[in-house]
Amino acid sequence: MFDSLDLRNKTTFFALNSLMMNNCITKKHPIMKITSTQLFSGLCLILLTPIVVNAQYLPNQFTNTVPIPYLVEGSLSGGVTTYDLNFAGKVHNFDPNGATNSYLPTVPGDTFLYNINAAVGTWGINSSTRKPSSAPDMTYLGPTILWKHGDTVQMNVTNNLPDTTPGNGQMTTSHWHGLNVPAYGDGGPHQAIPNKPSSKNTWKPKFPMVDPAQTIWYHSHVMMYTTEQVIMGLAGMIIVEDHTTPAAIALNKALPHDYGSNDFPLVIQEKEFLYDTTHSGSIDSMKATALNVSEKPGNGEFRVVNGVALGQLKVPNSVVRFRVLNGDARKSFNIGFSTNIDPANVSGRLDFYQVATDGGYMGKPHKINSFLVNPGERGEFIIDFGQAGLAGVSEVFLSNRVADPEVATAKDIVGIGAGKVQPGYITPGYAFMKFVIDSTIKPANPITKIADSNLFPKYQLDSCPTPNKRTKNLNHPGGKTKQWLIDSLPMDMGRLDDTIRVNTCEEWTVINNTPIAHPFHIHKVQFQIKQYIDGSSGTPDTMNYPNLPTYMLGYKDVMIVRKGSQFTFQARFDHFGDSSVDTSNGYMYHCHILTHEDFSMMHQFTVVNDSVWNSLYPSSIEDRGEQQSFSLYPNPAGDVLYLRGNSRQDGSLRITDLMGRTLQEVKVKAFSTETRIDVETFHTGMVIVEYTSGDQRMTQKILLE
């Protein structure tokens, strides 16, 4: 039946899955080409146009209980804490209590009515290691993992995902986003796990927990398939606690820390569904039948928190901590708290405090009114539901503040207005969820006031006196491939783009040359922002540390860089230097819009020990007599490379790849001031150029295009 189906390789499983679940094909899943004579009995052809609308639900329609993923603490034996995770196919209902049973419009008066109360195919993650007996299995997303600073962790990750096509398994990975781990345990594309027991479908990395207290997450990072797998549900939260440092213990005690009682993880995402449609006059009643899982997802109809739409969560009338993760494939969300469901009603807005960012606690509680959380980014926020201003108030909404003046014009940010602007908000929905204040909830350790600033670690830039500096350009050249690139190069699993010496500090500048904002993410490290130049309005606005906005302070691993803008960060690449240069030991840096990551806006670096570094990079200039200075430009270089300096002797120019293999070698005559070297026929890509003349030697990394 399917012999002549034209299925793109990446979406074969999702197309077939949706086809079999729906018995229909829609324009919202345009990944098949099939003639009408090949349609089997019962297959319906439904032509739907993606709609971007503004959901204006009423307070009493938030009826689904927001599930709190169960907490997995691991099993300690012999000084090692062991955890197991099982990835498997599941069935999930994003509207279990039927909030949409009456087929709600997403705009008053709209003729499209939606019902997503349906069991749809998803992927879930579960653990048998000390799982609470009362906890139901996760049918979407995964449990929250608790790690402790100073522990040695053993992770056993088993891939039991269903096959994507007959005869081919569904590879996956589990990346520990935000964690400093050895490269072999990073869970990036190099650590792919097959789904057949005969192929050793359990990945078993072990590593020490060197990071401080922070909120991170785990998610699939398989090459070219991250978008689909995260949409299907392969993600979860991780809490790292520090029970060894007195200051960290005191601060955690002053903050809400009773998980599931006054300390809650909130994973915000957008979901697009496939529908069966019933036409009645001008009304289209649309019943969800499956997730719309695509390598290039469109604008979804519903926002979900922890896997449910129109959710509510009961909270105590005291201080509560929310660990917020933007786990979406592409959208940014501007969140706030309000007693009014309409975010345009400023009278109901509530102040709250940011106490931590991606990499842990900030220097103090920062009072804010809204927060733009970008894909992959986390923030920890506290709000006092017992404050005087909430006397007599029983409901507070997590507002969707997409129309606030400070973000409404940011059309380059996906989720605020990137791409073709539709009527209504690009990210629809007045509220993501509702909080119900319940005085009968009594946390074991209730918190009744905002923690004092003196309990927080002092924040300042780390010492970084002589950093190695790198520049990364984000590009979108267009053309047939329409790839998103870094330094005009696509991702190559067999190429290392950067080699970094362990236990050193580096300074990177990321420049966005595209018309779209990109949340830049780097593995292994937490960075500190030194400078941000906002060029999104056309007039550069330069901000330098310490005079940065609150959201740029603290240790981060995700930073959004607006169109025409750039930022400079510093980071220490401590611990876990490899003893060889090997592409399989690559860490990634990339845009965390997953469609951009999958379509080549990703590169990789390796961190090596001192011995390897010294063998690769002899001191940049070695001169037993008079010291000379040489430099190469331009960088990147096209057809011509210039060597600047003064050389009284003939020399040689050797070009190697990042693994030290010689690609080309040319003789260079003695010169004064500078000499021209034609490189048109040279190997392209990131290379190391070494110039030697007598006792002098210099090396420089150059991008040859």
Top-level class of domain 268-450: mainly beta
Q: Is the pLDDT of residue 424 over 80?
A: no
pLDDT band at 408 (very low <50, low <70, confident <90, very high): confident
Residue type, position 288, single letter: A
What mean pLDDT do residues 248-253 have?
A: 97
Q: Give the model's confidence band at 294: pLDDT under 50 very low, under 70 low, under 90 confident, else very high.
A: confident
pLDDT at 437 over 60: yes
Position 54 scores a pLDDT of: 39
DSSP assignment letter at 52 = -
Neighbours of 646 (CB within 10 A): 14
pLDDT score of 52: 33
For residue 689, the model assigns a pLDDT of 87
Task: Classify residue 259 by its DSSP letter.
Answer: B
Contact 664, 691 (CB under 8 A): no
With bands split at pLDDT 50, 70 and 90, how would you rate the model's confidence at 244?
A: very high
Which of the four pLDDT bands, split at 50, 70 and 90, describes residue 421? very low
Contact 339, 139 (CB under 8 A): no
**Mean pLDDT over all residues of the chain?**
86
Q: What is the DSSP letter of 116?
A: -
Alpha-carbon dihedral angle through residues 53, 57, 62, 64, given to the nearest 10 degrees: -40
Residue 13 in this model has a pLDDT that exceeds 80: no
Task: Find the radius of gyration of the CA atoms of the chain.
Answer: 27
CB 353 within 8 A of CB 367: yes
Pairwise CA distance, residues 231 & 123, whole Å: 9
Cβ proximity of 232 and 125 under 8 Å: no
Return the domain boundaries, the chain.
64-257, 268-450, 468-616, 631-704
Q: Which of 549, 215, 237, 519 is nearest to 382 (CA)?
A: 215
Which is higher by pLDDT, 165 or 693?
693
Predicted pLDDT at 620 = 41
Instruction: For residues 502-522, give the mean pLDDT.
Output: 97
For domain 64-257, the CATH superfamily is Cupredoxins -  blue copper proteins (2.60.40.420)
Please report the pLDDT score of residue 108 as a whole number: 60
pLDDT band at 292 (very low <50, low <70, confident <90, very high): very high
pLDDT of 623 > 70? The answer is no
Span 472-488, average pLDDT: 85
Non-local (6+) Cβ contacts of 173 within 8 A are: 187, 188, 189, 191, 192, 193, 203, 220, 221, 222
> What would you measure as the largest C-alpha separation in the chain, in angstroms?
91
Question: Strands (DSSP E) along 497-639, which ranges?
Answer: 498-501, 505-512, 518-522, 528-534, 541-544, 558-561, 566-572, 587-591, 602-608, 631-633
pLDDT, mean of residues 587-596: 98
- Find the range with the poorest average confidence among 148-157, 236-245, 365-374, 394-403: 394-403
Residue 56 has a pLDDT of: 58
Select the highest-mean-pLDDT range: 120-134, 276-290, 447-461, 605-619. 447-461
Q: How many CB atoms lie within 10 A of CB 605?
A: 22
Give the pLDDT confidence score for residue 10 in this predicted structure: 40
Give the model's pLDDT for residue 553: 98
Q: Which range in 379-383, 421-425, 498-502 is most confidently predicted, on average pLDDT? A: 379-383
Distance from the first to the final alpha carbon of the chain: 47
Over 90: is that where the pLDDT of 159 sits?
A: yes
Q: Which amino acid is at 338?
A: S
Alpha-carbon span 548 to 529, nearest angstrom: 9
* pLDDT (mean) for 501-505: 96
What is the structure's pLDDT at 704? Answer: 82
Closest Cα to residue 503, out of 584, 587, 358, 613? 613
- Using CA atoms, how far residue 192 sits from 175, 201, 375, 686, in Å, is 10, 9, 22, 25
**β-strand partners of 288:** 275
- Determine the Cα–Cα distance for residues 686 and 705; give it in Å rounded to an integer: 9
pLDDT category, 646, cuts 50, 70, 90? confident
Residue 37 pLDDT: 33
Q: How far apart are CA 597 and CA 591, in angstroms?
A: 6
265 vs 693: CA distance, rounded Å: 60
Given this model, what pLDDT does residue 234 score? 98
Instruction: Give yes or no for residue 625 having a pLDDT over 60.
Output: no
**Higher pLDDT residue, 643 or 557?**
557
Residue 176: CB atoms within 10 A of its CB come to 25
Residue 479 pLDDT level (bands cut at 50, 70, 90): low
CA–CA gap between residue 520 and residue 549 (Å, rounded): 18
**Using an 8 Å Cβ cutoff, are 144 and 236 in contact?**
yes
> What CATH superfamily is the domain 468-616?
Cupredoxins -  blue copper proteins (2.60.40.420)
CATH superfamily of domain region 631-704: Macroglobulin (MG2) domain (2.60.40.1930)
Looking at residue 163, what is its pLDDT? Answer: 87
The predicted-structure confidence for 338-393, as pLDDT tens digits, reads as follows 999 988 889 999 999 999 999 999 999 999 999 999 999 999 999 999 998 999 99
Res 165: pLDDT: 55
Q: pLDDT confidence of 480, banded at 50, 70, 90? A: low
The pLDDT assigned to 214 comes to 98
How big is the chain, counted in residues? 705
Instruction: Give CA–CA dist 317/197, Å, rounded.
Output: 49
What whole-number distance in Å separates Cα of residue 42 and Cα of residue 115?
22
What pLDDT, on the 0 to 100 scale, is given for residue 488? Answer: 92
Which range has the worst mean pLDDT, 112-116, 180-184, 617-621?
617-621
| Band (120; pLDDT cuts 50, 70, 90) | very high
How many helices (H) and strands (E) the chain has is answered by 6, 49
Rounded Cα–Cα distance for residues 382 and 352 (Å): 6
For the residues 48-66, what does the mean pLDDT come to? 66
Burial classification of residue 254, based on how many CB atoms lie within 10 Å of its CB (0-12 exposed, 13-18 middle, 19 or more buried): middle
Beta strands in 7-141 (DSSP E): 24-26, 44-46, 64-65, 71-72, 75-77, 80-93, 104-105, 112-115, 119-126
What are the residues whose beta carbons fall under 8 Å from the beta carbon of 590, sequence distance 6 or more?
Answer: 486, 491, 520, 521, 596, 597, 601, 602, 603
